[in-house]
Amino acid sequence: MSQLDDLPPLRDVIRRHDLAPKKSLGQNFLLDLNLTSRIARAGGRLEGVTVVEVGPGPGGLTRALLAEGAKRVVAIEKDTRAIAALAEVQARYPGRLDVVEDDALGVDMAALAGDGPARVVANLPYNVATPLLIGWVAADRWPPWWDRLVLMFQREVAERIVAQPGDDAYGRLAVLCGWRCEAKIAFDVGPQAFTPPPKVTSSVVRLEPRQSPLPCPVRDLEIVTQAAFGQRRKMLRQSLKSLGDAAALLSAAGIEATRRAEEIPVEGFVALARARAAMV
Ligand code: SAM
């Protein structure tokens, strides 16, 4: 696709609005509209769907989401300089783009999304990508307000999200995501696709919520995974000592005390979290 819409090329937008990328804001822009369309399409059929986008920047992905038919896009952007650039997109798609100038870590996205099907599609700023993801998957309310997350991460983070027991990348993030979601890497994106190019390859990850994840108090799961993976190569009887009687906890969860965090599947951590919740 050479022409997504009749808006000016993104390089023009960046120049006119003085949007020189800032490292402090994790700004690596996507200027290739074929690629932004591919990411938008990873969001599935968007007709009738509200899409929340974190960090629209100059609006390349925003434009693709609107062109792909999203009912409404709610774009949350911290950089004031981008707001005027996005006003041009708002004018092109009247009533379909809400721009919220704020820090995405502090806003109530469920309230912004409103009623009806909602999804998150974003080329995330790498410096806040993991806390945002944890906020989405470790929320108190489940099923969540979104039915899919389509997110760009550094490849190394993407691998930590989809890792399985025994993988080097298996840890707290894989357990939290695997407990609540089906997660997979949709495709990789090389550094040259971004302006400026980052040092590493990126990946688009798709997460879909499990409707009935194993019941378990989320805070306890966070606590046991933190303790267990804090010393990932030690036996659990050692790494869980900070939680009190590690032997009793492991026995209540039906897990051998000599096993290590890196080999325990999600179900094992859920059992540990439930055992802890019952003990404290
Ligand atoms: N979506 C654009 C694209 O694909 O070209 C820009 C993506 S860039 C990787 C990340 C964007 O997130 C930037 O526009 C940046 O200003 C914005 N951003 C950084 N930190 C943010 C935060 N805490 N809340 C909201 N937006 C943020």
ipTM at complex level: 0.99
pLDDT tens for 225-238 read 999 999 989 999 99
Binding residues: 28, 30, 55, 77, 103, 123
Pick the CATH number of 218-279 from 1.20.210.10, 1.10.8.100, 1.10.3720.10, 3.40.50.1100: 1.10.8.100
Mean pLDDT of the chain: 97
Note whether 10-209 and 218-279 share their fold: no
pLDDT tens for 8-21 read 999 999 999 999 99
Please state the rounded mean pLDDT for residues 200-220: 97
Answer yes or no: is pLDDT of 193 > 90.
yes
CA pair distance 60, 178, nearest whole angstrom: 30
Neighbouring-strand partners of residue 122: 151
CA pair distance 75, 101, nearest whole angstrom: 8
Domain boundaries, the chain: 10-209, 218-279
Q: Residue 158 has what pLDDT? A: 98
CA pair distance 51, 38, nearest whole angstrom: 15
Backbone angles phi, psi at 167, to 5 degrees: -75, 150
Binding residues for S-adenosyl-L-methionine: 28, 30, 55, 77, 103, 123
Q: Residue 192 has what pLDDT? A: 97
Residue to mutate, 29, 127, 203, ligand 1, most ligand atoms under 8 Å from C-beta: 29
Three-state SS letters, 24-55? HHCCCEECCHHHHHHHHHCCCCCCCCEEEEEC
Please state the rounded mean pLDDT for residues 55-81: 98
Is 10-209 a domain of CATH 3.40.720.10? no
